[in-house]
Amino acid sequence: NHKVIFHYPNGRDVTINVSIEYCKCLPEGASGTWGIVYDEEGNVVKHKIECEQNQVSEIDFVDKTLLSFDIGAGTTEEVVSLGVNFRPQLSKGLSYGVKETLLQIITRWNRK
């Protein structure tokens, strides 16, 4: 159990007790697969794909291997999952992101 206190600017405090029954930690990019596989109500999402001879077919990604990337300021996560099941042995975190690249661009621009 966790106790959280919200302090309003008017001086009023509201206390909320939070109880977490189950928690699983995933890399940042792993949670994005849920939005590809399921909708907000938990239903499987069907995706339309174009096949040979301009035929359109529908598939879902429940049992498909997915490769996702999450590019942050300082790190990039390369995440492999089977549907929404994270595959840690195939995934990795890389120690670079966009922050350093942007700082280098700003430095070059400021030279001119």
Model confidence pLDDT, tens digit, residues 67-86: 999 988 888 899 999 999 99
At 111 the pLDDT is 87
At 102 the pLDDT is 87
At 78 the pLDDT is 93
At 43 the pLDDT is 96
User: Which helix H or strand E contains 37, and what residues bound it?
Assistant: helix 33-37
Q: How far apart are the first and last CA of the chain?
A: 56
Residues of the chain where predicted confidence (pLDDT) is lower than 50: none
Surface-to-core class of residue 78, CB atoms within 10 Å of its CB (0-12 exposed, 13-18 middle, 19+ buried) = middle
At 96 the pLDDT is 84
Q: What is the 3-state secondary structure (H, E, C) of 36-88?
A: HHECCCCCECCEEEECHHHCEEEECCCCCEEEEEEECCCCEEEEEEECCEECH
